[in-house]
A and B are shown apart, each in its own frame.
Chain A
């Protein structure tokens, strides 16, 4: 199965915003229950992952204008894409993941270290979504 089979907007969505399968599953969970408000703890319980990790992934998605984040204790998130095309891409991603799970996972892990993007990213002053170490 080749990743070229995936629709272009889905591929762009993954390239731009999806770093891990965990993040993908969190996004699809909130997309599936789009009217519901979630917290890091409720997501962690649902997906059986660590709450801190869930919170960080959702913060990243909120910065990408895919989720909305409401400050408070606890912090609340819900699915709130910034544009209709983004919504369509996430819907496409949900469909692709249900039909071609392996293809999607392979695509996430085969993202090359994009040198050009790292050039542009170097100029981001706020480096609070650091990956690796």
Chain B
């Protein structure tokens, strides 16, 4: 059950990422590029967790991916508020 849920989340993260890639191409606003990368990282996070199966040593690496995903969102917000309006 948990693996099914995790797999579904993985797929949905990829779909969301693809939508943001499309928005990025359409608006030429790198804000959406950051969001796309963030959601693809969230998808990657799911894959890495699947490979762990409880072994603790690589858990840190897996969660660093999650951290990076959210840091990218922060970067997107900061970048949007610093750059002059395009």
Contacts and interface: CB of A to CB of B under 8 A. Distances in A.
Contact flag (A, B; Cβ within 8 A): yes
Interface of A: 16-17, 63-65, 82, 116-117, 119-120, 123-126
B27 A123 contact: no
Nearest to B86: A16
Nearest to A63: B85
A120 B31 CA distance: 7
B26 A123 contact: no
A63 B84 contact: yes
B80 interface: yes
A109 B77 CA distance: 29
B73 to A, nearest CB: 9
Interface residues of B, number: 13
B81 A126 contact: yes
A117 B81 CA distance: 14
Given A123-B31, A123-B76, A123-B77, A64 B26 contact: no
25 contacts: A16-B86, A17-B85, A63-B84, A63-B85, A64-B85, A65-B84, A65-B85, A82-B84, A116-B26, A116-B27, A116-B32, A117-B27, A120-B29, A120-B32, A120-B80, A123-B31, A123-B76, A123-B77, A123-B80, A123-B81, A124-B80, A124-B81, A125-B77, A125-B81, A126-B81
